[in-house]
Amino acid sequence: MEAAGVAHPAAHEEQHGPPPANRSSRVEPQLLGMLLFIISEVMIFGAFFTAYFFIRVSSGDPWPAPGTTLPVAVAGVNTAVLWSSSLTMHWAQTSIKRGNRFGLKAGILTTFLLGFTFLFVQINEYANIGFAPQDHAQQTIFYSLTGLHGCHVFIGLLLLLFVTIRSFRGHYSPEEHRGVEVPGIYWHFVDVMWLIVYSTVYIL
């Protein structure tokens, strides 16, 4: 009887405190958060693409506007630069998974430099393109789409800067590399989105 009386408070003590959090998803929170963020960004780009296709298809306005030209060749080279950064990002991700710290540091640093080059060329393009956003509806959409993407590149560069600093400080390992993988997913998204922007705005 006494043993039962002692066991009861002990069992009560074990149940003290809130129960462990229930995780209904098998996806890690950091990865799930980034995927949800990317989905929301796709919707934002979708709104601008809707305006773009409305001008070109529904209104039948010429693209680009009469008297203006788009630097297709320069943007094409810039596209190759950005897509090269996607390859170096993949190199960095696979390197840290295999414990190759040199590959991680070289890949991340190269990715950052290529992304910075892309953004620099795009800003230089704005400075020499010869028209402003307020000149015509086409110019407004051009600056909106390319500028929105440029903002995403800038955010990606900030993330890459943090990853680069931490990589050179030895903060990642084959067991703990989520800090490289999640920004890498965002950077691949930026690269894919630019290919869509370039194809529709400069080529079609």
pTM higher than the cut 0.85: no
7, part of any domain: no
Structural domain of residue 141, as residue ranges? 28-62+72-203
Mean local confidence (pLDDT), 154-167? 95
19, part of any domain: no
Q: Tell me: the pLDDT tens digits for 55-97? A: 887 777 778 878 788 999 999 999 999 999 999 999 999 999 9
User: Which pLDDT does position 29 carry in this prediction?
Assistant: 79
User: Which pLDDT does position 90 carry in this prediction?
Assistant: 95
CATH of the domain at 98: 1.20.120.80
Q: How far is CA 183 from CA 35, 63, 141, 197, in A?
A: 11, 35, 28, 21
40, part of any domain: yes
169, part of any domain: yes
112, part of any domain: yes
Q: Tell me: the pLDDT tens digits for 35-48? A: 888 999 999 999 99
128, part of any domain: yes
16, part of any domain: no
Query: How far does the chain reach from its first CA to its final CA, in angstroms?
Result: 86
Number of domains in the chain: 1
23, part of any domain: no
Mean local confidence (pLDDT), 186-193? 95
Mean pLDDT of the chain: 86
